Chain A
Amino acid sequence: MTQNDDILLRGTGFQPVSSTNDILLSVENLSTHFSTQQGLVRAVQDVSFAVKNSRTFALVGESGCGKSITALSIMRLVPEPQGKIVAGKIIFNGRDLLGLSGNRMRAIRGNRIAMIFQEPMTSLNPVFTVGYQIEEVIRLHQHKSKAEARDLAVEVLRQVRIPDPQRRISEYPHQMSGGMRQRVMIAMAISCKPALLIADEPTTALDVTIQAQILNLLDDIQKQYKMSILLITHDLGIVEERAENIAVMYASRIAELSDCRSLFEQPLHPYTQGLLKSMPRLGFTEKRLYTITGVVPDPLHFPGGCKFHPRCPIGCNDKRCQTIEPLLREVIPGRQVACWYAPGYERPDDPKL
């Protein structure tokens, strides 16, 4: 085991490898494709972003825009053989995850990078008690006896605020409510104190009050463990106070990447503008909410040019939007956008039509 591996797999306490920045995970030009019977689906195209230490990064987008596949690509859990990561790098803690062997990757999953899923009702194995499932994660990654693992399981259950964890630990998933099960999933995810937690729509299946509780719980755990969170959601409302940076994905590419405050104050991409306008706000007086016209494009037949142009209020009749796809560019320091009409986007040598 090289020293680099040692750092990668260290169970507790996180030290950044490079001192120049405090980036934990950086995804560079990631592309993931699926070959289906109908043709090639480019589920993720050229996606790049970086997650900082003990901060939250939000990946926002509609269903089918590629955000979950991005998360699965980071975990290297893209369903094979149909799905394949065709290009890019995933640098976690200074090391490219795509170059690791299956065994090394397994040692990282659940230990250094953990994930929680959208559906707490089906993400737990119905035939085992929740205690057994938490213990399994602990014993897979740490050399602990059964009794020690059990104590630790009770401890993490208490941390996710499950009342009476001593008794709850011997219950089966079907005896718990959705919110409780999501807490158990979080308990499993944090039981090895990971450096990065990927939360794939953690609150979509829960009702609004439970949603707030789960999100607050995640916030507290993040503070306590100094953990980074990659929050994947379609709900801009829940990322507003939480995330430091946001990437808005549309049709398998990032449309806009920005820090949270400026994105909400001044969205640059027409898609982001549409999303923000369609969010109900306190003190909202209009009768009808804004909607983005049209539907999400079929991933087998993306429109040519800018993929958003058929739905775009600005560029739908622009010849250039229809033919040339704008790529992500930094227009203001710290803010990237992919739209010909964004202020400061155009360069003198850009093709004109």
Chain B
Amino acid sequence: MIDSVQKTFKAPKGVSLWRDGMRRLFRRPLADVCLFVILLYFALAAFIYICEIFHWQVGFTLWSQEVGPSYQAPCLQNIFGTDIFGNSVFRRMLYGAKISITVALCASFISIGIGVPLGAIAGYFRGVVDEIIVWIYSTLSSIPYILLILAFAVVLRDKTIYGIKLTGITSVYLAIGLTSWVGICRLIRGEVIKHKEREYVLAAKSYGCSDSRIIFRHLLPNVFHIVIIDFSLRFVSFIHAEIILSFLGLGEADRPSWGAMINDARIELARGVWWQMVAATVAVFFISLALNIFGDALRDSLDPKLRVQ
């Protein structure tokens, strides 16, 4: 009898919390559009990388090619006009995406790599370890953010560490990554403190898991949605930080980035050359907006506390 019941009744296949969250996410059309925009920026950055590696001469990646007279106003051939050397501002804007995405991605990985393990260890072990880690991040977070990044960027700039020369862009993402792990560390620590009292942790101990296994195999997967949400929102601030550093002249010196473009525009604006500024702002505007909306949607769909049926 049971057999026949089992044959007729087929339960739906297992759905993980993760997949369930993704399903919720893609039910929102706005989030889909934003994801598309974000992926477009990523694809552009990746494409420029590929072109550079294989030395492909694809028109819009050749930012240093003269396309017209100096300071040509926007027209049909050059939709954002040209800069002082007659290079296309539109191409410079596209190239800026590569710098921004690279910096933001590398900075994210660095700060996840530092913040998540530190937060998890502090939250799990508490005691002295916790106090030391909390002391370090409280100290770091008490220094104004931009000043701290600036200090790191100045120190790291053009230094050679273990034979690796830190060029402009490397020192920028190192500076951002090394200073921005505080937020995620604090979040993960709080969440781990909450989760380690759950019974599944005690159960894991009762069948012989070691502490490191409990932290990295049992607790982290349970709190990792926080990392994803936090970084979808923080990615924007990394892009902004890169722009600020470039604007202040601490970024990539000889290649265009959005920050450098805005820096150039500072002088040009007085002469009525506004297109450099507009191009950079438009590029920043769309990725910021898309990341913000997408990050909010991601939080709504992944955070179980905000879940509404």
Contacts and interface: CB of A to CB of B under 8 A. Distances in A.
B204 interface: yes
Contact of A117 (B2, B11, B203, B209): B203
Contacts of B15: 172, 175
Given A172-B15, A172-B16, A125 B218 contact: yes
A170 B15 CA distance: 9
B222 A125 contact: yes
Contact of B207 (A109, A122, A128): A109
B205 A127 contact: no
B29 interface: no
A106 interface: yes
A81 B127 contact: yes
Nearest to B198: A122
Contacts of B6: 163-164
Which among A122, A125, A189 has the greatest number of chain B C-beta atoms within 10 A?
A125
A195 interface: no
B254 interface: no
B208 interface: yes
A25 to B, nearest CB: 15
B272 interface: no
Q: Kindly state the interface size class of chain B when it binds its partner.
A: 20 to 34
Interface residues of A, number: 36
A107 interface: yes
Contacts of B207: 109-110, 114-115, 136-137, 140, 188-189
Interface string B192-208: 00000011101111111
A115 B6 CA distance: 32
A110 B210 CA distance: 12
Given A127-B222, A172-B17, A107 B208 contact: yes
Contact of A175 (B14, B209, B222): B14
B206 A110 contact: yes
Contact of B200 (A115, A122, A175): A122
Given A110-B208, A140-B208, A127 B16 contact: yes
Which among B207, B210, B217 has the greatest number of chain A C-beta atoms within 10 A?
B207
Nearest to A175: B14
Given A106-B210, A172-B14, A175-B14, A125 B200 contact: yes
Given A77-B202, A163-B2, A163-B6, A140 B222 contact: no
Given A81-B127, A125-B222, A170-B14, A115 B2 contact: no
Contact of A115 (B13, B206, B221): B206
Nearest to A191: B207
B91 to A, nearest CB: 45
A136 B218 CA distance: 11
A128 B221 contact: yes
Interface string B1-37: 0100010000101111110000000000000000000
Given A129-B14, A171-B14, A172-B17, A124 B206 contact: no
Given A126-B222, A171-B14, A106 B208 contact: yes
B15 to A, nearest CB: 7
Contacts of A109: 205-208
Nearest to B220: A127
B236 to A, nearest CB: 28
Interface in A39-55: none
Which among B18, B206, B209, B221 has the greatest number of chain A C-beta atoms within 10 A?
B206
Contacts of B221: 125, 127-128
Contacts of A213: none
Contacts of A122: 198-200
Given A163-B6, A171-B14, A124 B208 contact: no
Contacts of B217: 136
Interface in A112-161: 114-115, 117, 119, 122-129, 136-137, 140-141
Contact of A123 (B2, B13, B16, B203): B203
A42 to B, nearest CB: 22
Contacts of A167: 11
Contacts of B203: 115, 117, 123-124, 185, 188
A234 to B, nearest CB: 18
27 contacts: A77-B202, A77-B205, A106-B208, A109-B206, A109-B207, A110-B206, A110-B207, A111-B208, A117-B202, A117-B203, A122-B199, A125-B200, A125-B221, A126-B222, A127-B16, A127-B18, A127-B221, A129-B14, A140-B208, A164-B6, A170-B13, A171-B14, A172-B15, A172-B17, A175-B14, A185-B203, A188-B203
Interface of A: 75, 77, 81, 106-111, 114-115, 117, 119, 122-129, 136-137, 140-141, 163-164, 167, 170-172, 174-175, 185, 188-189
Given A109-B207, A122-B198, A189-B207, 20 more contacts: A75-B205, A77-B202, A107-B208, A109-B205, A110-B206, A110-B208, A115-B206, A123-B199, A123-B203, A125-B204, A125-B218, A126-B17, A136-B207, A137-B208, A163-B2, A163-B6, A164-B6, A167-B11, A175-B11, A188-B207
